[in-house]
Structure 1
């Protein structure tokens, strides 16, 4: 049986996916979350995600797709011996890019959702304020949406509520949803595995903290 008012959120426990989780709770009567292990250095994010989902009374499941980490030896998020790019190289993607990650996540999420009769998928990707990852683009999501529908002869809808929001606008959305403090103090966005404001110097922390500063300054006007 299809549940038109149900959604499955790709959930990592970070700022973006946590904001999306509560966005989904506002827009759908039934929400579930799926988290992925993909060989990432910091398994703490799984426990952070599990706790946030539990506190939000959202069913939570973890899928192991760690095979991804065996396919590319150049990613600093899955290989501890590789120094992390602090800036995007001029002629390539930063080595924090995990090739195919969002494609794999959404594909497995769709298979899982179908088994539950869920056909709305929610992901926190954004092309407005990102680190140069090609699988965060709207064109990619739209293409994959069509492919999933053709592959399974279903009508999935992939929702990307953050697609056109920069980080300050993501903070604003979390505030509008009433979870600004939760996102600020309980989420894990940092590439070095530090909860809340993070290490302060990795690319994810810089993006998050600059967005927070911009939003607080704008809100104060």
Structure 2
């Protein structure tokens, strides 16, 4: 018989950005005991991990930051991890494909699933959304569905993969977050890990677009 306490545990892949921050608080609102998992995979915007750590302290939930940067010996070619300039422009532009990190979400979901099994959690949450579909193959519906099926059979314990915002845009994610009174000053989005957000990369542009569409002011400082 499944322990009812274990049914209330979930693992959140928590980058420190807007989407995973909102997913995290959605899970908390749903009454789950949250175990947040952040990854240092050598991303130039590792500043997001500092934001994740601060939020975990602020809200007092379990949080691990795991260094997997050694995987860059095997995967490369992304402007997020290699010495390649981060392209400017909207996500819809073909140049943004340079920000794809090969197989990233499959790797992160696999590790998070192993963690979920070890702590008796029932699911892994992550923040894929519709705005990612055009650029990131591992944020598309068919990928999430396939990973969900695999993670249910990869261990004796079936772990569900949940992407609650898979079919909505960042605009809608922010709308839901603002309705929950979330403070987005606690998030970092920019692909450049400088003191201030650049405002020009695809991540920044999509964030600013979401705030504008919600008639709200972004609390972050921009260059």
TM range (shorter): 0.7 to 0.9
Give 1:43 shift: 2.5
- Given that residues 86 and 192 in structure 2 are in contact (C-alpha distance below 8 angstroms), is that contact kept between their aligned partners in structure 1? no
Q: Give yes or no for the alignment of 1:68 onto 2:71.
A: yes
TM-score (norm 1): 0.88
> Secondary structure of 1:162's partner?
coil
Equivalent of 1:58 in 56, 61, 74: 61
Counterpart Cα distance in 2 of 1:113 and 1:100: 20
**Partner of 1:210 in structure 2?**
209
Q: Which runs of 5+ in 2 are unaligned?
A: 217-223
Give 1:96 shift: 0.4
RMSD (Å) for aligned C-alpha atoms: 1.9
**Partner of 2:189 in structure 1?**
189
- Given that residues 125 and 163 in structure 2 are in contact (C-alpha distance below 8 angstroms), is that contact kept between their aligned partners in structure 1? yes
**Partner of 1:154 in structure 2?**
157
- Given that residues 96 and 202 in structure 2 are in contact (C-alpha distance below 8 angstroms), is that contact kept between their aligned partners in structure 1? no
> Secondary structure of 2:198's partner?
coil
> Secondary structure of 2:69's partner?
coil
Counterpart Cα distance in 2 of 1:188 and 1:7: 23
Give 1:93 shift: 6.4
- Given that residues 192 and 198 in structure 1 are in contact (C-alpha distance below 8 angstroms), is that contact kept between their aligned partners in structure 2? yes
Counterpart Cα distance in 2 of 1:96 and 1:119: 31
In the comparison of the two structures, how many residue pairs are matched?
A: 210
- Given that residues 68 and 101 in structure 1 are in contact (C-alpha distance below 8 angstroms), is that contact kept between their aligned partners in structure 2? no
Counterpart Cα distance in 2 of 1:191 and 1:140: 24
Equivalent of 1:124 in 127, 144, 147: 127
